[in-house]
Amino acid sequence: MTAAEAATYLRLNQDGRDIADAIKSLEHLVNEGRLRPCRVGRWNRYSRAELDRFISDQTERYAPRGGTTNGVRPDNPDAEARLD
């Protein structure tokens, strides 16, 4: 997919951000080596599998520590989440 499509897929253009700013954010991720595009001619193209890999990596990287999610311990999935 194109840079604009990839930016939309990653939701980089939410909250009223201009698509040009979203594409710059995408290019920043590429320059940092966190996202790997494919070259087609002079253009970068992004596979859905690569974008999904990036999302998965980000989810693991910024997941809550300590084995809890929203205050619910994993060994008690029926417990209600805390609303602190």
Phi then psi dihedrals of residue 16, to 5 deg: 75, 15
Residue 59, phi then psi, degrees to nearest 5: -65, -45
Q: What pLDDT is attached to residue 16? A: 84
Digit-coded pLDDT (tens) for 23-82: 999 999 999 999 999 999 999 999 999 999 999 999 988 887 765 555 555 555 555 555
pLDDT at 44: 93
Q: Is the pTM of this model over 0.75?
A: no
pLDDT of residue 72: 53
3-state secondary structure string across 16-72: CCCHHHHHHHHHHHHHCCCCCCEEECCEEECCHHHHHHHHHHHHHHCCCCCCCECCE
Q: Which amino acid is at 46?
A: Y
Q: What is the pLDDT of residue 79?
A: 55
User: Looking at residue 54, what is its pLDDT?
Assistant: 95
